[in-house]
């Protein structure tokens, strides 16, 4: 059974768009355990629009927090305490794609970051990295943080224009697989995203 975690090297690297493409290609269920920031809609609603999945495949978040900031701070502003025992991947009969929030070292609580949660789950992680300037540093630090916690890394999925030197450096120095690269799309909708994912990635790499 395919159960994958999608995380990013930073905020706004294209993680949600990639998660939508992956979940749609796998005909999976999608779960974002913690949503921080509700203005303009949630990541789950964006995945619903872009993935082509039936609404029942978009699972409800464990926490929906108002402010777009790190979950520990957003929870404090809402007067909520995040209980990691509630953040357990649901048992489902089919594939599941789980999306984190921001990068791997984003705080969930005063003492735990997302990488700690991924270490509890022991599920393979896909790191989504932009190809823009700075990505080598951000990507290698993310890989190091996950490896230090013995989190299994499936590989890196890049988003953006091709930058062969940066992509090759991350793969070589991080000792990770290059899963593919999702280009920037002039029109972002479910059909265009589905076609771009099929042209850029091999689905068998995620099974």
Structure tokens at 144: 């190091």
Q: Helix, strand or coil for residue 182?
A: strand
Q: How far apart are CA 115 and CA 100, in angstroms?
A: 9
Quote the CA–CA distance of 14 and 60 in Å, as a whole number.
21
Q: Which DSSP letter does residue 107 get? A: B
Spatial CA neighbour of 126 closest among 69, 88, 176: 176
**Catalytic-residue membership of 32:** yes
DSSP state for residue 158 in the 8-state scheme: E
In angstroms, the CA 130 to CA 160 distance is: 6
Catalytic position from the list 3, 15, 32, 57: 32
CA–CA separation, 63 and 81 (whole Å): 10
Mind telling me the catalytic residues? 32
């Amino acid at each position: 059974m395919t159960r994958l975690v999608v995380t990013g090297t930073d905020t706004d690297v294209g993680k949600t768009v990639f998660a939508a493409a992956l979940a749609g290609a796998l005909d999976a269920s999608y779960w974002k355990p913690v949503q921080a920031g509700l203005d303009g809609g949630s990541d789950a609603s964006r995945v619903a629009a872009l993935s082509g999945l039936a609404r029942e495949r978009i699972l409800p978040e464990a926490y929906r927090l108002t402010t777009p900031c790190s979950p520990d701070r957003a929870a404090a502003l809402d007067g909520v305490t995040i209980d990691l025992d509630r953040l357990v991947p649901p048992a489902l009969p089919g594939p599941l794609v789980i999306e984190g929030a921001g990068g791997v070292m984003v705080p969930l609580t005063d003492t735990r970051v997302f990488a700690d949660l991924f270490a509890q789950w022991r599920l393979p992680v896909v790191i989504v990295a932009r190809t823009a300037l700075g990505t080598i540093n951000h990507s290698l630090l993310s890989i190091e943080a996950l490896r230090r916690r013995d989190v299994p890394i499936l590989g890196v999925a890049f988003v953006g224009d091709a930058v062969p030197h940066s992509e090759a450096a991350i793969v070589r120095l991080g000792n990770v697989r290059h899963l593919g690269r999702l280009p920037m799309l002039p029109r972002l909708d479910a059909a265009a995203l589905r076609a771009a994912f099929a042209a850029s990635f091999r689905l068998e790499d995620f099974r």
